[in-house]
A and B are shown apart, each in its own frame.
Chain A
Amino acid sequence: MENPLTLSSCQELRELEINAFCPGTAELDLISSITSMNIQRIAFTMPCIPSRPVVSPSNWIQLDDSLCQLVDRLKSGLRLEVEFEALGKQVWWSGERGFKKFLPRFYEKSY
């Protein structure tokens, strides 16, 4: 088993864009590894528009936890934007409505 990719060395990272068919364990582990206190945008860009969020319930919980940790570590005055995009457009579960349902703790901290 190869070692998962980590971003712990990127202390100045502000924007991360991950092109993935659907965010899974490897992508979520990558998010968890971010240590930058400047991160202001994380975007998942998908090559096609899925009809429903192709993220398993346990992965939503992990993502919610990781995003909350990032928000807590952010330098004051900064805000973290999270986007799910397909073909250049935000998918329906992205934004306030979707985050309220799928990322409730991150929603509370950010909106």
Chain B
Amino acid sequence: MDLPQELIDEIIDHIPQNDWKSLRSCSLVAKSWVHPSRRHIFRAVDVSEATRLKLWLDKISPTNVGVLQHVRSIGCHIAEPLDSFHPPVDFLRDYSPSFRQLESLALLTGLLPSLTQINTYSAFQHTLSYLSLQCCNVIASELITLVNYFPNLAHLGLFSSFHRVDERATPPLSRPLQKLTILDSHDGPGLLDQLMGLRPEGVTLWMSRSSNPSFAQHAIDGVATSVKRLNLEGDTVGARNSLKNAVARIVEANAAILSQLWKTL
């Protein structure tokens, strides 16, 4: 029986995203089932473990556009070289031209993707909306160049990143960034200048207990003129005393119950 393509798409859209077994089975039903099944199977790719990356490199050719065009989200949080392959730099260099619908890119990288090779990312220049950089040495001019290069980039995440000194002039920002997330990043005054340059309207700060206590205040002051939505997570507020206070408040709030319980024992 020949079903209209819209119906096949609709059927496959109802399969849970993480039900790989069913999606793989669907992709083998007929030619018309391959495309919608792959759209779900390859939507989010995570090559953050050496075994997964090796499997990916063995199975998927960088020129396999039929598969790679479906990738919307990539996470590559692996720093150690795999033989002579240096993720994520080599991974991006080889596969970027085929990621034509990429919306989310999360990298663990020492340095920002080289700006001299920024055209490598032209395949997803107009689709990328989220970029996350972990353990990255960042400088303002490079961050702003990246934001300007991706016109639909709305959300930039800096996780455990550091400021790198650079004398280059900072280019003007083409538009304010919608959202900036900073997780446990360091070097307050240096990053402060960069945050001001990005003029983010929404900011999420996630600081752990080991963060420099003054960093959160530096970050907030850095975005003060532009920020409209602020989200404070982790130990950002009252970092040093939060757990102690939380326990004290729970004990206080439940003192009557504990007392009653003690009497009944």
Contacts and interface: CB of A to CB of B under 8 A. Distances in A.
B237 A5 contact: yes
B231 interface: yes
Interface string A1-24: 011111101111111111111101
A3 B237 contact: no
Interface in B201-226: 213-214, 216-217, 220-221, 223-226
Which of A4, A10, A14, A30 lies at the interface centre, i.e. has the most chain B CB atoms within 10 A of its CB?
Answer: A10
A54 B126 CA distance: 47
A13 B221 CA distance: 12
A55 interface: yes
Interface residues of A toward B: which range? 20 to 34
A13 B238 contact: no
A25 interface: yes
A6 B249 contact: no
A56 interface: yes
A19 B225 CA distance: 23
Interface residues of B, number: 32
Contacts of B253: 50, 52-54, 56
Given A9-B224, A27-B238, A19 B230 contact: no
Contacts of A24: 238, 242, 245-246, 249
A5 B216 contact: yes
B237 A13 contact: no
A26 B250 contact: no
B242 A12 contact: no
Contacts of A16: 229-232
Interface string A84-100: 00000000000000000
B249 A11 contact: no
Nearest to A55: B249
Contacts of B228: 12-15, 38
B234 interface: yes
A30 to B, nearest CB: 6
Contacts of B224: 9-11
A54 B237 contact: no
12 contacts: A10-B223, A12-B228, A13-B230, A16-B229, A17-B232, A18-B232, A20-B237, A25-B238, A30-B232, A38-B228, A50-B253, A53-B253
Given A11-B224, A12-B226, A15-B229, 19 more contacts: A3-B214, A5-B217, A6-B217, A9-B224, A10-B224, A12-B227, A13-B227, A14-B228, A17-B230, A19-B231, A19-B234, A22-B246, A24-B238, A26-B245, A38-B228, A50-B253, A56-B249, A56-B252, A56-B253
